[in-house]
Amino acid sequence: MKLVTSLLKIALPLVVIFLLLKVHILLGIAAAVAIVVYFFIRNKSAFFAYLGNMNYQQGKQQEALMWLNKAAAEKNCKAMHLLGFSFLLLRLGKLEQAQEILVRAERMSLSREEKMAYLTNASLLLWKQGRLDEATVMLEEAQSEYKNTNLYGSLGYFYILSGDLDKALAYNQEAFDYNNKSAVIADNLGQTRLLRGEYEEALAMYEELAGQKPTFPEAYYNYGLVLEALGRSEEALEQMEKALGYPTSLLSTVTHEEIKAKIAELEHKTGVSRNEEAPPEEEGEDRSSQQEA
């Protein structure tokens, strides 16, 4: 039924334009212009959201923020656009505005996918507000109804942060069995092994992950920590330098300052100084942006 309705919405204006063109070409052109203006007014939020998402994909965060702000300002802005906007706000550290947008989205009728996106974003907000326990409970409760890579990635990291490494290992192994192609899940499992002192197992995980060429710094930073723990400091330094080349955000689990500090430590330890300046930033996104369905 929805398909028929959608087709009618497209077909009827075209029929009107065709009939008016047969009467007079100017009438047809006027009708076409009027219909385009009407659809633009009705769908401004979708148009603005499209421009926002396009700029986001190109790495133009401020431009994306501007267009998504415009989309959200429209009363008929769809939940999917609000949820995408809230995620960008979280990455940029605009927590209060992200919370306002999430509250607005929660009040809407959400599809299953939108509900999962809402829960994931809301849990990230709670984490960044220092409410890790609440964030964890939110995703644990959601898991009974929803199960996907996003949830496994976020909840798996929350278990690492909680310090319960037995629980983190069991869960992240389950997550890896669910999707062994997810770089975020692989990083979670590798980091858990690292924190447990299981360096050989962690090494195997990061060697495999490196083959995927992840585009977030944590994968290289944690790989470097494993190599350092195994006494391979020069190799560790190489990984840290790679980590420094990828962008971070408020949702990243490591900062450029931490990476630089570790590089300085490894340079002092090895007596090797590879770069006087930071490497140029690679195209990529932080760890939070690697989530998938």
pLDDT tens-digit series, residues 69-84: 777 777 888 888 899 9
Check: CB of residue 88 under 8 Å from CB of residue 68.
yes
* Domains and their CATH numbers in the chain: 174-293 (1.25.40.10)
A 10 A CB-CB count for 129 gives: 13
Summarize the confidence of residues 196-201 as an average pLDDT: 98
Check: CB of residue 262 under 8 Å from CB of residue 240.
yes
Question: 45 Cβ partners below 8 Å, 6+ apart?
Answer: 71, 72, 74, 76, 77, 78, 81
Q: How many helices (H) and strands (E) does the chain have?
A: 15, 0
Of 48, 40, 92, nearest in space to 66 by CA: 48
Distance from C-alpha of 227 to C-alpha of 270, rounded to nearest angstrom: 13
Token readout for 198 is 């299981």
A 10 A CB-CB count for 107 gives: 8
Token readout for 244 is 């420094």
pLDDT band for position 33 (cuts 50, 70, 90):
low
Which single residue is written with the structure tokens 């996918």?
Answer: 113
Distance from C-alpha of 186 to C-alpha of 173, rounded to nearest angstrom: 9
Question: 58 Cβ partners below 8 Å, 6+ apart?
Answer: none
> Model's pTM, two decimal places?
0.79
Check: CB of residue 57 under 8 Å from CB of residue 76.
no
**Predicted confidence (pLDDT) per residue in 118-165, tens digit:** 999 999 999 999 999 999 999 999 988 888 998 999 999 999 999 999
pLDDT of residue 221: 98
Query: In a 3-state reduction of DSSP, which class is residue 166?
Result: helix
